[in-house]
Structure 1
Amino acid sequence: MKKKNNIVLIGFMGVGKGTIARELYKQTGKFPIDCDDLIESATNLKIKEIFEIYGEDKFRKIEKDLAKFILNSIDNSIISTGGGFYKAKNLAKFGKIIYLKASFDYIISRIKNSPNADKKIAKRPLLANLDEAKKLYNERDPKYAKKADFIVNVENKSPKQIAKEIKKLIKG
């Protein structure tokens, strides 16, 4: 299977993958697909509820099923992934992988300063304990970088600027 024509956004939870996907849609016309939204729609549960009721292992199994679906069915789209989606088998074939990079502190302040901050923190079960979340961030950061075709630092940039940068990188 050849590489798909998708733009795949990876990075830590709260970095802005969904926001950037929506801005990329405005600039490219490629339709944005949010992995967490698809999982919530398929299960009729919020991500937080899946974690509470079934645990992280069940969530990762659902995510794995979604990855297979995307690989077999989705092309010419923008895929906004969950924070752990970088582990998906054959990720390189999904399309151009863009690591949206920011420091842990920047991500946390971004979430805390956003409208509906409490909701945004509550919907991310792995942010319940910030010390554990920071460990997870430090563990994942080099793994995201290794999987990425391009790394885009998103700190102190508008979604419009970030999307333009991604478009430029993809066009070469």
Structure 2
Amino acid sequence: METYCNIPLRERNIVLIGFMGVGKTTIGQLVAKKLYRDFIDVDQEIEKIHNMSIPTIFQQLGEEYFRKVEKEFIVDICTNTRLKIISLGGGAYLQEEVRNVCLSKCIVFFLDLSWDSWKDRIPLIVNSRPLLKNKTLEEIEELFFKRRDAYSLHNSRVSTNDLDPEAVADQIVKSVKWTWEIYEPND
């Protein structure tokens, strides 16, 4: 895995990862506003390109097709853009090529929400998440913990338990600015 990058730290994209429904989009929009950057929600961009929702893409074209398109889109934006805040779908980071490009070219924040806090959100998101349809609570919990292994590969972890999105965004911005000052102080 490539870990060196010639993109200056201040110009690197910031990528938010975490399980579906943890707030990556909401928090990403707040971080983008605070850092004066453009925000990209990968799922929303894929929906625009295909002119259909993610559940419809899964249903009509299949998960394998979706994952291929998702990977190509993420590799492209991580390789060819700078100064963006990027929210990945919950399953995107499971793909090794996605993890590698994010870690080698961007700053990756894992938004970590405990299982007990996350499961309270199920009624709010179950209908819009194809991978949750017709699953028992035990199957969803298994998926949640299985994905944590991939999420453990990141640059920084932010525990979002008991924090509102604004507080999480402030914590990310503070962390990024501190890192910039330590590793690339102004000349």
TM-score w.r.t. structure 1 length? 0.88
Corresponding residue of 1:98? 109
Q: Which runs of 4+ in 1 moved over 6 A?
A: none
Query: In 2, are the aligned partners of 1:14 and 1:108 still within 8 Å (CA)?
Result: no
Q: Tell me, which stretches of 5 or more residues in structure 2 are unaligned?
A: 179-187
- 1:15 paired with 2:19, answer no
Q: Tell me, which stretches of 5 or more residues in structure 1 are unaligned?
A: none
Corresponding residue of 2:174? 168
Corresponding residue of 2:89? 82
Equivalent residue in structure 2 for 1:124, among 119, 123, 129: 129
Residue 29 of structure 1 deviates from its aligned partner by 1.0
> How many residue pairs align between the two structures?
165
Residue 104 of structure 1 deviates from its aligned partner by 2.5
Q: Who wins on radius of gyration, i.e. which is larger?
A: 2
Q: Which moved more, 1:45-54 or 1:14-23?
A: 45-54
Q: Which moved more, 1:103-112 or 1:160-169?
A: 103-112
Q: Which amino acid aligns with 1:153?
A: S
Residue 33 of structure 1 deviates from its aligned partner by 0.4
Percent identical:
36
Q: 2:130, 2:141 → 1: CA distance?
A: 13
TM-score w.r.t. structure 2 length? 0.81
Residue 121 of structure 1 deviates from its aligned partner by 2.1
